[in-house]
Structure 1
Amino acid sequence: MFVRLQLSEKLVMNGLLLLLAAVWVVPLVYLVMYSFEGGGWANYQAVLSLKQFPYFLMNSFIVSVCVVALLLAVVSLAAYGFSKLRFPGDSSLFALCLIGLMIPPVAMLVPLFHTVKAFHWINTYMSLIGPEVALSIPFTLLIVRNSFDEIPGELLEAAEMDGSGAWGRFFHIILPLAVPVLTTICILTFLNSWNQYLFPLAFINKEAMLTVTMAPKFFIQEYTSDYHKVFAALVLITIPIVVLYIFGQKYMQRGLTSGAIK
């Protein structure tokens, strides 16, 4: 049952929301203001004039798109199996997959480095794609599986009676109905991959293979640092993901709430 809020309750709630928003907005405003100090637009021109900057953008875009595509394929198939197919040990295997939610990425850095080195992936795109996909599976699998659980089993039973196989039910019923949650996964995964700093720092030592999050370090030297240009680089890095979030916000809200009501 929904309860109509009183005016005082609305004012208190809106005040708390504004306070929470200020916690996030104030640092962003400071970031933009500080990026213009010293040289103004020249700070941004200095970042854009870096000869490596186009390569940084290209590398980040390639890695992010590949991570999204690979993760979407793996998670959608896995969620379909855990949600709509029954096999021995499915609950135990799903619980085992969720263990990754309790392990921070920093704790996995050393074993990941040895794994990447064993596969000869150092200074390659796979050193950034593989670990990112692996560490993103637990959370995204949980969201997609809960969304798939909302799809009525009667639809799949009707399709099976019409002669549709497991693959046919997946492509013609599951995927069309799961567009909101899959879109949410794409946006979240792209944002996380674009903002990834740890893996390029650990697995990449060639300038031509670095991602856009490494651009600020070119303005931090051993004895001198130009933090105005560093802030300008951070603003430029943030623009694509802010635009992506603005256009995909409604899909994210719908996808994240799917599976919440049974």
Structure 2
Amino acid sequence: MFGRLQRSEKITMNVALLLLAIIWVVPMVYLVSYSLEGDGGANYGDVLSLKQFPRFLMNSFIVSTSVVVLLLITVSLAAYGFSKLKFPGDASVFAICLIGLMIPPVAMLVPLFQTIKTFHWINTYMSLVGPEVAMVIPFSLLIARNAFDEIPNELLEAAEMDGSGAWGKFVNVILPLAVPVLTTVGILAFLNSWNQYLFPLVFINKEAMLTVTMAPKFFIKEYTSDYHKVFAALVLITIPIVILYIFGQKYMQRGLTSGAIK
């Protein structure tokens, strides 16, 4: 069991957290201040008036939402199987799934490109959704399975006595209790997908299919670049995910600590 923190330990922890906060806040302050230099607020107006910008926003929203939906379906079912439906070799299969945590996305870029090209997904939403879901499954499955392990088996046994099968126990018992961790998985997946730069850069060459992270490059020309507008675009891209985190941080804290204490 954890004991109460001493006063000196609380002060040390708060100072450390303050320093970490400063490290994160200073770049954001610089980003916003630099985006207001030159033409000031007009930089934001120029970004918003970019005719492709609404399309980029819609593409990012479609891709990120699709990633979240597919990921939650896949991870919730897989975590339920690994946690509550024991089968021969389940530990080995789970370990194989976690190998993805050790492989950086860049290392998978060439085989991913060949796969997407084979399926004729170039310049489609699936070229962004499929790889993104595959890349975030290992970590999402890890935290979801740990949370599912916390759910008492007695609840499932009681549901079975009431006539529920495997699917009924999943829908009526597991899912309602797994809302915090699944919300965490969804928020993290949305943030990661929204900020994705590599996949749109490699898999999309059609302007109408680009995502919002590609917007800054429209202000970087071959011989001249307006970096004030680039920074303004970066600020606008950041706003939706900051809002999402503010409203979802309560669930994220609960979800990330699920399975931490047995």
TM-score normalized with structure 2 length: 0.98
Determine the structure 1 residue equivalent to 2:54.
54
Write the distance in 1 (CA, Å) between the matches of 2:26 and 2:156. Answer: 49
Cross-structure match for 1:83: 83
The answer to which of 10-19 and 58-67 deviates more is 10-19
**Cα shift at 1:162:** 1.4
| Gap change, CA 1:88 and 1:172, over 3 Å in 2 | same
Whole-Å separation in 2 of the counterparts to 1:168 and 1:5: 44
Over the matched positions of the two proteins, sequence identity in percent amounts to 83
Instruction: Measure, in 2, the Cα distance between the counterparts of 1:205 and 1:39.
Output: 31
Q: What is residue 150 of structure 1 aligned with on the other side? A: 150
Pairwise CA distance, 1:13: 2.1
Which of structure 1's runs of 4+ aligned residues deviate more than 6 A?
none
2:165 equivalent in structure 1:
165
User: 1:46, 1:10 → 2: CA distance?
Assistant: 47
- Name the aligned partner's letter for residue 86 of structure 1: K
Q: What residue identity is the alignment partner of 2:181? A: V
Indicate the residue corresponding to 1:24 in structure 2.
Answer: 24
Structure 1 CA distance for aligned equivalents of residues 43 and 11 of structure 2: 42
Q: Which moved more, 1:199-208 or 1:2-11?
A: 2-11
1:16 Cα deviation after fit: 1.5
Q: Which residue of 2 aligns with 1:222?
A: 222
Q: Which structure 2 residue ranges, 5 or more long, are not aligned?
A: none
The verdict on how the C-alpha distance between 1:5 and 1:166 changes in structure 2, with shifts beyond 3 A counting, is: closer
Question: Counterparts of 1:172 and 1:253 in 2: how far apart (Å)?
Answer: 24
* Cα deviation digits, residues 28-69 of structure 1 (max 9, x gap): 000000000000111000000100000000000000000000
Deviations along 1:164-199, one digit per CA (max 9) or x if unpaired, are: 100000000000000000111111000000000000
In the alignment, the residues of structure 2 paired with residue 33 and residue 246 of structure 1 have an alpha-carbon distance, to the nearest angstrom, of 22
Partner Cα separation in structure 1 for residue 73 and residue 10 of structure 2: 43
**CA apart distance, 1:92:** 0.5
Matched residue count: 262
Equivalent-residue separation in structure 1 for 2:19 and 2:133 (angstroms):
35
Deviation at residue 2 of structure 1 after TM alignment: 4.0
Which residue does 1:199 correspond to in 2?
199
Partner of 1:190: 190
Partner Cα distance (1:261, 1:190) in 2: 27
1:54-86, Cα deviation, whole Å (9 max, x unpaired):
000000000000000000000000000000001
Q: Distance in 1 between matches of 2:56 and 2:123?
A: 13
Which residue identity is paired with 1:84? K
1:132 corresponds in structure 2 to 132
| TM-score between both structures, scaled by the size of structure 1 | 0.98
Listed one character per residue, the Cα deviations across residues 100-135 of structure 1 (whole Å, up to 9, x for unaligned) are: 000000100000000000000000000000000001
Aligned to 1:251: 251
Give the letter for the 2:20 counterpart: L
- Structure 1: which 5+ runs fail to align? none
Where 1:157 maps in the other structure, the secondary structure is helix
**What letter corresponds to residue 90 of structure 1 in structure 2?**
D
